[in-house]
Amino acid sequence: MSVTPDGSAMAVDPADGIAVLGSRGSVAESFGIPLAVLLEVTHRCPLQCPYCSNPVELERGGAELTTDEWKRVLTELAAIGVLQVHFSGGEPTARKDLVELVRHASDVGLYTNLITSAVLLTRERLAALADAGLCHVQISFQGNEPLGADRVGGFAGGHAKKLDVARWTRELDLPLTVNAVMHRQNLHQLPDIIDMAVALDADRLEVANVQYYGWALKNRAALMPTLRQIEDCTAIVEAAQQRLKGVLAIDYVVPDYYALRPKKCMGGWGRQFFNISPSGKVLPCHAAETITGLAFDSVRSGASIAEIWRNSEALNRYRGTGWMQEPCASCAFKEIDFGGCRCQAFALAGAAAATDPACSLSPLHERIFKTAEAEAAEGGDRFVYRNFAGGTAET
Amino acid sequence: MASRNITVSESSRPVLPRHAKLRFDETRQRWVILAPERVLAPDDIAVEILQLCDGARDVAAIIDVLAAKYTADRAEIGTDVLSMLQDLADKGFLTEAREKTP
C-alpha cells in the first residue's frame, strides 16, 4: 500500500467559517489525540509493488491482531477522540473479517476509509462493506493501461479489476479517491491517469510521487524520476487543478530528493498521527520501523492506546524540537518542517536525528541530488518485487 | 456524480452527501464534518444552517427560519446563507436532493 507522507493525517484547507481541524494551533497539534489513525490490518497483499510503503521485514499473518483485538482497538480509538480510521495494509480486504471490522467501527461512531488495491474485491463484498457503513474508498492504480500497470504490481489482470471495482464503488454511491503512485517509469502517463480519474467519476486524485524508504529505497534506481519529469509533472498537475476545479480535487506529493526544503513529514513525528501495525504496534508513521533501535509499544502490552501515545519512548524520542542537532537546532524553520523525515535521515545520513538530506542545509543534500540525477539517467528499469521472502528480482 | 458543480439558489434543497457526516465531537466539544481525508470544523452559524439542510427544506425556507429566529434582515441573512452553502458545495460537502428517477 501507499500513504502520502503529509496528507494522511489531514489536509489543510482553511476557509471562512469552515476551518479545518488539524491546522496550526488546534488540539491535534499539541499532541492531543490524532483525528485520524491508519490501521494496517495485515501485511498480506496479492500485489508486489516495488515501492510498497510497508517495511521490508513484513509481519506474518500469524502475528496479526485477531478480530476481537481489532474491535477492542476500534472501540478504544473512538472513546479517546479519534474521528476517522483508514483500513489499510498490505491489502486490508485480505482479512476475512473486514466487513465485521468496518461495521464495528461504524457502530462506535468512526468515519471509515478503505485504502485498497481492489483486486480481491467482488461486487457483493463491496456492497457488504457499504452496508456496514463504509464511508470512502481509495483505490491505488499503477498506471493507465494494463500492460505496464500489471507489470508494476506484479499481478496479471490487476488493472482491469481495479477499473471494475472503481465503477462498482460509484454505483454504490461511495466517494472514490484514485491513488496514483508516480515514478520514472509511469510519469509519462500522468495526463492519461488524470483523464482516467475523471472518467471513473472519482472525487479525488492523489498524485503521489514515490517516497524512498523500505522497498522503494531498494528500487530507487529503477524508480527515480528525472528532474525534467518532475518539472513537467508539477506543471501538468497545476494546470489540471485549475481546469478540474469542482470536478476532481488533486492532491500532489513531490519527490523530495529534488526539493530545497524538506517535507513536514507526518506533520512532525508523533505530533498528529499514528498508525497501528498488523501485530498492534503503535507507530508514528508507516515507515518508522525502518529505523533500527527503536522499540515501539503494542496495543497488546496492556497499556491503553492513549497511554502509549503519550508515554511511548519511541514516540517521544523525536517529538517536538528538543532532540535536534545542528543545523536543525538553530534553524528558523524548525517548527515549520520539524527537520523533515526521520526515516529518510536514517536511511541516507545513517542517523534518525540528522537533518533530512532533502533539506538544502544538510551537508548531504548536494550528493543526494546528484545521486538522484545519476540514477534517473542511468538506473536500469528492472524491479525488485515486494514479498515475504525479502524481495524477488524481476526476470 | 450528479452533485458536481451545483449552483445553490433559494430553490435548492441542499443536503450533506453520504460521505460527509455532521457529528458532535464529544472529546473536543465541538461540531465537525467528517469527510474523506478531512475533518472540517464548522462555526456555530454554519452548524445551525447545516442542521436545517435536510434535503426536504429549500434554501428559501432555511433563510426564513433564520431570519425569524434572529429577527434579522432577510436579504442580509440570505446572502450569508447562500455564500456559505455555495462554498461548501464547491468543496464537495453539499449536494442537492433530487427527485428519485425511475
**Closest to A64 measured CA to CA, from A19, A96, A33:** A96
From CA A60, how far away is CA A115, in angstroms rounded?
Answer: 20
Cell for A226?
528525472
B42 DSSP assignment:
E
Q: Select the highest-mean-pLDDT range: A27-36, A196-205, B65-74, B93-102.
A: A196-205
Contact A135 B92 (CB under 8 A): no
From CA A111, how far away is CA A94, in angstroms rounded?
Answer: 21
A81, A83, A201 member nearest B34 (Cβ): A83
Contact B33 A177 (CB under 8 A): no
B54 DSSP assignment:
B
A17, A84, A203 member nearest B34 (Cβ): A84
From CA A59, how far away is CA A43, in angstroms rounded?
Answer: 6
Model confidence at B1: pLDDT above 90: no
Percent of chain A with pLDDT over 70: 92
Model confidence at B84: pLDDT above 80: yes
B1 touches chain A (CB under 8 A): yes
Q: Which of residues 15-44 of B touch A (CB under 8 A)?
A: 17-19, 21, 23, 25-28, 32-34, 36-43
Chain A positions touching B26 (Cβ under 8 A) are 81
Model confidence at B101: pLDDT above 50: no
pLDDT of residue A197: 98
Q: pLDDT averaged over chain B? A: 85
pLDDT of residue A376: 94
Cβ contact A341:A263 at 8 Å? yes
Q: What region does B75 belong to: left with phi over 0, alpha with psi -120 to 50, or beta?
A: alpha
Which residues in A197-223 are b (16+ Cβ under 10 Å) and which e? bbebbbbbbbbbbbbbbbbbbbbbbbb
Alpha helices in B26-97 (DSSP H): 44-52, 59-69, 74-90
Contact A20 B38 (CB under 8 A): yes
Cβ contact A204:A178 at 8 Å? yes
Model confidence at A23: pLDDT above 50: no
Average pLDDT over residues A226-253: 93
Summarize pLDDT for A100-139 with one digit per residue, the tens.
Answer: 999 999 999 999 999 999 999 999 999 999 999 999 999 9
Cell for A178?
484514485
A10, A17, A201 member nearest B38 (Cβ): A10
Q: How confident is the model at residue A31 (pLDDT cuts 50, 70, 90)?
A: low
Chain B positions touching A136 (Cβ under 8 A) are 19, 36-37
Cα distances (angstroms) measured from residue A177 to each of A74, A138, A203: 23, 4, 6
Contact A27 B17 (CB under 8 A): no
Three-state secondary-structure class, residue A114: strand
Q: How confident is the model at residue A8 (pLDDT cuts 50, 70, 90)?
A: very low
Cell for B88?
461548501
Question: Residue A86 forms beta bridges with which residues?
Answer: A38, A113
**Closest to A155 measured CA to CA, from A147, A163, A145:** A147
Model confidence at B34: pLDDT above 70: yes
Q: Rounded to a whole number, what is the distance in Å from the CA of B66 to chain A's nearest CA?
A: 17
Q: Rounded to a whole number, what is the distance in Å from the CA of B86 to chain A's nearest CA?
A: 11
Of residues B29 and A158, which shows the higher confidence score? A158
Return the beta strands (E) in chain A as ranges.
18-20, 36-40, 84-88, 111-116, 136-141, 176-182, 204-209, 249-253, 274-276, 282-283, 384-385, 392-393
From CA B45, how far away is CA A88, in angstroms rounded?
Answer: 36
Summarize pLDDT for A318-333 with one digit per residue, the tens.
Answer: 999 999 999 999 999 9
Q: How confident is the model at residue A25 (pLDDT cuts 50, 70, 90)?
A: very low
From CA A147, how far away is CA A1, in angstroms rounded?
Answer: 20
Summarize pLDDT for A254-303 with one digit per residue, the tens.
Answer: 888 888 889 888 889 999 899 999 999 999 998 898 898 999 999 999 99
B4 touches chain A (CB under 8 A): yes
Cβ contact A357:A365 at 8 Å? yes
Q: Rounded to a whole number, what is the distance in Å from the CA of B3 to chain A's nearest CA?
A: 10
Return the beta strands (E) in A89-151 as ranges.
111-116, 136-141
pLDDT of residue B4: 60
Q: How confident is the model at residue A1 (pLDDT cuts 50, 70, 90)?
A: low
Chain B positions touching A22 (Cβ under 8 A) are 39
A13, A27, A201 member nearest B28 (Cβ): A27
pLDDT of residue A21: 54
pLDDT of residue A373: 93
Q: Which residue of A has its CA nearest to B27?
A: A81
Locate cell 536514517: which residue? A346
Q: How confident is the model at residue B42 (pLDDT cuts 50, 70, 90)?
A: confident
Which domains, and CATH codes, for chain B? 14-93 (1.10.10.1150)
Three-state secondary-structure class, residue A337: helix
Q: pLDDT averaged over chain A? A: 90
Which of A8, A18, A31 to mutate to probe the B interface, most B CBs <10 Å? Answer: A18
Instruction: Give me the amino acid identity at A42.
Output: T
Cβ contact A224:A376 at 8 Å? yes
Contacts of A180 (CB under 8 A, 6+ apart): A140, A141, A190, A193, A197, A205, A206, A207, A208
Return the beta strands (E) in A255-382 as ranges.
274-276, 282-283
Q: How confident is the model at residue A16 (pLDDT cuts 50, 70, 90)?
A: very low
Model confidence at B97: pLDDT above 90: no
Model confidence at B3: pLDDT above 60: no
Chain B positions touching A13 (Cβ under 8 A) are 38, 91
Percent of chain B with pLDDT over 90: 49
Cβ contact A369:A360 at 8 Å? no
B23, B37, B45 member nearest A7 (Cβ): B37
Chain B positions touching A80 (Cβ under 8 A) are 27
Q: How confident is the model at residue B93 (pLDDT cuts 50, 70, 90)?
A: confident
From CA A253, how far away is CA A182, in angstroms rounded?
Answer: 9
**Closest to A108 measured CA to CA, from A145, A80, A141:** A80
Q: How confident is the model at residue B40 (pLDDT cuts 50, 70, 90)?
A: confident
Question: Residue A179 forms beta bridges with which residues?
Answer: A140, A206
Q: What are phi and psi of A19, to 5 degrees?
A: -70, 170
Cell for A264?
513536514
From CA A119, how far away is CA A140, in angstroms rounded?
Answer: 10
Q: Is the peptide bond before A55 cis (omega within 30 degrees of 0)?
A: no
**Closest to B6 measured CA to CA, from A311, A247, A116:** A247
Which of B23, B37, B40 to mutate to probe the A interface, most A CBs <10 Å? Answer: B37
Instruction: Give me the amino acid identity at A138.
Output: Q
Percent of chain A with pLDDT over 90: 81
Chain A positions touching B32 (Cβ under 8 A) are 21, 83
Q: What are phi and psi of A69, to 5 degrees?
A: -65, -45
Chain A positions touching B88 (Cβ under 8 A) are 18
Cβ contact A376:A187 at 8 Å? no
Q: Is the ipTM of this complex over 0.90?
A: no
Model confidence at B35: pLDDT above 50: yes
pLDDT of residue A102: 98
